Amino acid sequence: MSMIATLRRTAVLALVTLALLAPAGPVAAATDPDATDMVSFGIAPAGADRPDARPYLAVTAPAGSVVYEHVALVNQDDEPVTLEVYGADVVMADGGGLSVRAAADTDTDAGAWVSVDAAGPVQVPAQTADGFGYTIVPLAITIPQDAEPGDHVAGLVASLVTVAAGADQGPSIRLEQRVAARVYVQVQGEVAPGLVVEDVVADWAPDGVLGTGAVTVGWTVRNTGNVRVAVEPSASVAGPLGVAARRADAPRVEELLPGGTARVEATLEGVPALGREEVTVTAAAVAPLTGRDPGLAPVVATTHVWALAWLPLAVAALVTLLIVVAVARGRSARRAARILPDGPVEPGLVVDTPVGVGR
């Protein structure tokens, strides 16, 4: 593989890594103070002399070990760029996905184990006709003696800080753009995978007047073990005795870190209104990126939802009321017919007889 092809692949991997780890920021690009140019840079695993084709760093070692590695800082711009490089914890982002801790946050896991062999900012040369500019940076991953067995994830961050003058003589604006390469550290020891489902909520909303609707189901998956897992969630709903069953998949959780949670949601369309219906959610733990199959049985939880179509119920209630009224009127008419004589009533003579008069 040529040097140009290797660097191009390295840059692409760095862009993908940033999209996975820090979706809130622009991907591998930063604006200079004058906002007239874009500086594109990346970070990726490397050998001692040049970038390599690995998409991430993966280390398996016992507690107390020190592992030495290298990364390449890649510059795709026509001018040199100066970057800060440091390790940071990778944590679960709100709603799922992964995120790198901010530089000001305190790292308590693998981010604190990564140290870069650079006394300060690193200068990365500009690209040339031969390819992208790059600088190789050595690093060490020092696993503490008391590190918990299982999976730990760090991000090796390349940061570009620019300062722009504020508008109308306002205060200066400090902008930090970051890209990150993942560092997977598996501390050898007892592996104990675990997954639970929590906070299952279901809601039914009618979609018309024909007695059908959509059931929206939300639930939380929690990793209670010490290894990373991916999760394939799904939901189903069925009426009494299992009739009119529906099933839908929720978006896959690509990585759920130990102790992490992710909220997932599925929508089941065309669910008939059959009263109290049973909702079942399933979370299947499978192998994540660089990980192994956790060997767990799918986790299942159930709840119930009321699916009632009010217009058909109102029509049925009105029909029932009309039938009751008609039946009541029929009974009243039959009672009146039994009391009245069958023929015409002739006028007669009424004789008053005194009561209690005797000889």
Beta-strand relationship, 57-61 and 173-187? parallel
pLDDT in tens, 93-116: 987 789 999 988 999 999 999 999
Q: What average pLDDT does this structure show over 328-350?
A: 63
pLDDT in tens, 282-298: 999 999 988 899 999 99
**Between 163 and 37, the higher pLDDT residue:** 163
Q: Which tokens in the block code for residue 264?
A: 């997932």
Distance from C-alpha of 223 to C-alpha of 290, rounded to nearest angstrom: 17
What's residue 308's pLDDT? 86
What's residue 329's pLDDT? 73
Length of the chain counted residue by residue: 359
Q: What average pLDDT does this structure show over 41-67?
A: 96
Mean confidence (pLDDT) of the chain: 83
Tokens 């070990």, located at residue: 65
**CB of 157 closer than 8 Å to CB of 86:** yes
Distance from C-alpha of 305 to C-alpha of 219, rounded to nearest angstrom: 14
Residue 174: C-alpha distances to residues 4, 106, 171 (Å): 33, 21, 10
Q: What average pLDDT does this structure show over 175-201?
A: 95
Distance from C-alpha of 244 to C-alpha of 273, rounded to nearest angstrom: 10
**Of residues 181, 249, 199, the one with CA closest to residue 44:** 181
Distance from C-alpha of 138 to C-alpha of 193, rounded to nearest angstrom: 33
Structure pTM? 0.74
**Of residues 158, 176, 182, the one with CA closest to residue 20:** 182
End-to-end CA distance of the chain: 145
Query: Has residue 352 got a pLDDT over 80?
Result: no
Angle at 290 between CA 286 and CA 295, to 5 degrees: 30
Distance from C-alpha of 90 to C-alpha of 209, rounded to nearest angstrom: 49
Three-state SS for the chain is CCHHHHHHHHHHHHHHHHHHHCCCCCCCEEECCCCCCEEEEEEEEECCCCECCCCCEEEEECCCCEEEEEEEEEECCCCCEEEEEEEEEEEECCCCCEEECCCCCCCCCHHHCEEECCCCCEEECCCECCECEEEEEEEEEECCCCCCCEEEEEEEEEEEEEEECCHHHCCCEEEEEEEEEEEEEEECCCCCCCEEEEEEEEEEEECCCCCEEEEEEEEEEEECCCCCEEEEEEEEEECHHHCCCEEEECCCEEEECCCCEEEEEEEEEEEECCEEEEEEEEEEEECCCCCCCCCCCCEEEEEEEEECCHHHHHHHHHHHHHHHHHHHHHHHHHHHHHHCCCCCCCCCCCCCCCCCCCC
Q: Which of 17-31, 34-48, 267-281, 317-331 has the lowest mean pLDDT?
A: 17-31
Distance from C-alpha of 213 to C-alpha of 303, rounded to nearest angstrom: 18
Distance from C-alpha of 335 to C-alpha of 288, rounded to nearest angstrom: 79
**Between 13 and 113, the higher pLDDT residue:** 113
Distance from C-alpha of 210 to C-alpha of 332, rounded to nearest angstrom: 37
Distance from C-alpha of 285 to C-alpha of 275, rounded to nearest angstrom: 32
